[in-house]
Amino acid sequence: MIDFKGRVAFVTGGANGVGIGLVRALANEGAKVVIADIREDHIERALETLDNREVMGVKVDVSSRDAMAEARDKVEAEFGAPVTLLFNNAGVNLFQTIEDSSYSDWDWLMGVNLHGPINGVMTFVPRMIEHGQGGYVVNTASMAAWLAAGSPGIYNTTKFAVRGMSESLRYSLAPKGIGVSCVCPGLVKSYIYASDDIRPRDLMADAKPINTENVERLAGLHEVGMEPDVIAERILQGMRENQAYIFPMPDHKDELEQYFGEVLGDYRDYPEDPGYHERLKIEAMRRQGYEAARAAATKAI
């Protein structure tokens, strides 16, 4: 079971939403916590609510490898230890379809939602391994990593990718004593509906005008989202249990079960083709290895 006390935790998107809930929960567990966020004013407000805690704020653009490396070095200098609890949580969204999107839309969302977690892993995990004291990586995906409607198309794409990365990483890091979980929340009380506020100017080409009415509607929906402190406690519990997937909300279980049934329903009983039996032997070996990797990852931490 992972012990949070005394460890250094790096939480991207840490100044609001799921992130600030994680910051508070980790601080309560005795961790040294870094609020990593692109909104400097939000970081300052968050720090004001966390008096007498070992918490520091770092302004960082997660899509930048150099910025993440600079943040890592600053954190290690401040706390005198490497990050061993990594929360790749920062995310942005555009509530539109793929065909209505531009290349700059893709570059922005891919930069934050996918390259952000990649940069987090590549920046911090080698130091975790070198430190030799184990650790944990939590990647925030979404139920949109499983249930993809037409909109938001790019967001769905990035979250599916984060899910795949998380599962692969879980198996490769387990032998090194590092756990990996993928968090799949639904509606959370956050400011993701206002992502346009932090969109870089150099990624505005062909961007659609902001639909203020839609933003106001989404703001109302997010007001009834799950409280950050509730979801954070469920994430920490999932880490203690070393869950591959942390579903903090029961809202989608029946829908997901139905979806899996529809996926399996797309299989067909085709006639045997040349090479069929040889492929079965190869697949049997692959399946055995995959089952062993899942079992080892579950027991490792």
Residues marked active site are found at 155
Please state, in angstroms and as integers, the Cα–Cα distance from residue 192 to each residue in 219, 222, 242, following that order.
9, 9, 27
